[in-house]
Structure formats: C-alpha cells, structure tokens
Amino acid sequence: MKDSVNILFVCGYGVGSSVMLQTVVKKALAKYDFSFDMEHTAAGEVGGFTDWADIYAISKKIA
C-alpha cells in the first residue's frame, strides 16, 4: 500500500482553476490524518504525470 496519494489538478492553462481547487482540497484534507501530494498542470501537460498521479481532478470545461 502506498504511503500517500498523489492528486493532480488539471485546467486549461494550469494556473487558474486548478490552483484554486488545489488550495481548497488541501485545506479540506488537512483536517484528516491523510498523507497526500498535490500538483497542478495544464491539460496539454497531463501526459507527464501519468506515472505519478493516482487521482485526477479535471476542470469541467475540459472534461
């Protein structure tokens, strides 16, 4: 079993909604005894994270 879960936040350019969502989720998960790592990226860069990410959180506009 993994020690932590890797969460990738994805939006069109990787600097707007993905960053905001990452901030909200990070605060929410901090309340629990839960180990996680987070990154955010643009839709065109997702391929570089396929071996890393366990969970993808994707902007509704590009889903």
Structure tokens at 18: 């993905």
Rg (CA), the chain: 12
Q: What is the CATH number of domain 5-58?
A: 3.40.50.2300
Q: Can you tell me which residue has the tokens 């990154």?
A: 39
SS3 48: helix
Q: Please determine, for residue 13, whether its predicted confidence score (pLDDT) is greater than 90.
A: no
**pLDDT tens for each residue of 41-57:** 999 999 999 999 999 99
pLDDT value of position 34: 82
> What is residue 36's predicted lDDT score, i.e. its pLDDT?
92
Q: Give the pLDDT of residue 1.
A: 61
* Contact criterion met (CB below 8 Å) for 50 and 19: no
What's the token pair of residue 49? 């994270």
Element (H, E) at 19: helix 17-29
